Amino acid sequence: LVQAAIKARENAVAPFSKYKVGAALRTAAGKVYNGCNVENCTYGLTVCAERVALLSALAAGEREFTAIAVATQSDEPGTPCGPCRQLMWEYCGDIDVTLANLTGKRVEYKLSTLFPHPFNFCPED
Ligand code: THU
């Protein structure tokens, strides 16, 4: 999954920050959806790699997920922003989160560790 995230990072559209991020989200059935950050000249409409992966999986009809890997080029692997943590919690539950840099560092969390007091307001299915 980390290799998929590293590969997805290559497609990042980050001309403003130059900070490229890749994400790879695994479904319960084992399929992997990739994402990269996509920036925009208003800055505010930028979408993170994690959300691109998640929204593309949801748009493809996926609803159950087990793990996400996120890849950045930084000394310490980058951690997901707050809004991405909220969305991952809502749609993925307590998945495994692996953060990786390009030199082999890996940090593993359960999402509940990164996002301990979530806002929960989900309608019954
Ligand atoms: N970014 C992500 O794609 N994922 C994160 O977890 C944090 C930030 C992106 C947004 C922006 O394009 C760039 O990284 C710098 O903030």
Average pLDDT of the segment spanning 5-34: 98
Q: Please check the confidence at residue 98 and state whether its pLDDT lies above 70.
A: yes
Does the pLDDT at position 7 exceed 80? Answer: yes
Cβ partners under 8 Å of residue 50, min gap 6:
21, 23, 25, 35, 68, 70, 80, 84, 87, 88
Among 11, 37, 40, 107, which residue has the most ligand 1 atoms within 8 Å of its CB, making it the best to mutate?
A: 37
Q: Which of 13, 46, 76 to mutate to test the pocket of ligand 1 (most atoms within 8 A of CB)?
A: 46
Q: Does the CB atom of residue 81 touch ligand 1 within 6 A?
A: yes
Which SS3 state, helix, strand or coil, does residue 111 take?
Answer: helix
Q: How far apart are CA 107 and CA 77, in angstroms?
A: 7
In this prediction, residues 15-37 reach a mean pLDDT of 98
| 65 in Cβ contact with 26 (< 8 Å) | yes
pLDDT at 121: 84
Q: Whose CA is nearest to atom 3 of ligand 1?
A: 48
CB-based contact 24:8 (threshold 8 Å): yes
Greater pLDDT, 125 or 23: 23
Share of the chain above pLDDT 90, in %: 95
Q: Whose CA is nearest to atom 10 of ligand 1?
A: 48
Residue nearest to atom 5 of ligand 1 (CA): 80
pTM for the whole thing?
0.96
